[in-house]
Amino acid sequence: MRKLRMHELNRLSIEEFRQSEKHPIVVVLDNVRSVLNVGSVFRTCDAFKIEHLWLCGVTPTPELREMRKTALGGTESVNWTYTKDTMEVILRLKKEGYSIAGVEQTTGSISLEKTTFDKKPTALVFGNEVKGVQSEILPYCDQLIEIPQFGTKHSLNISVSAGIVLWKAVEPYLRK
């Protein structure tokens, strides 16, 4: 056994990625403050061929060098849009037929392992590092998902949460 070399990984070029069919999943970052977290989410969206990334409110955009460093090219490959108002994006996506899934700890959230993602357009909403997803957004979510945790901490880093939930969301597309 040996590690694969870069040329053996058969990765798409940025242009090939842009032209390729994406999974019908979008990510909405609701007031995520950390440049490094946002850069990591770009990189994760690239890894899972996510259709679109919405940056909302105070969420930084890729003009920042620190983000490009963390994203490792994800800011060049992933389709993204900035808008000030998260609710505007949620209402637009609902109108376009997306199922809205908020990632948040609530009285009505479903544990991730019990969550079923179908092969249908889905929008995953991730919130602010301290405040989470805005309370006003929660009633517009078709489901609320919580990642089970077993230690003393009550939350995960947003970029870690995105990686975990996105893997679960793309899993149905990996089955034949």
How far is residue 57's CA from residue 155's CA, in Å, rounded to a whole number?
A: 21
Nearest to 170 by CA among 109, 95, 120, 113: 120
Alpha helices in 27-145 (DSSP H): 35-47, 65-71, 74-77, 86-95
pTM: 0.94
Nearest to 92 by CA among 126, 54, 58: 54
Q: What is the pLDDT of residues 90-132, one digit of tens each?
A: 999 999 999 999 999 999 999 999 998 989 999 999 999 999 9
The answer to whether residues 158 and 126 touch, using CB atoms and an 8 Å cutoff, is yes
The answer to whether residues 158 and 63 touch, using CB atoms and an 8 Å cutoff, is no
Q: What is the pLDDT of residues 5-59, one digit of tens each?
A: 988 888 888 888 889 899 999 999 999 999 999 999 999 999 999 999 999 999 9
- The residue ranges of every structural domain in the chain are 14-174
The hierarchical CATH code for the domain 14-174 is 3.40.1280.10
Place of tokens 């949620």: 90
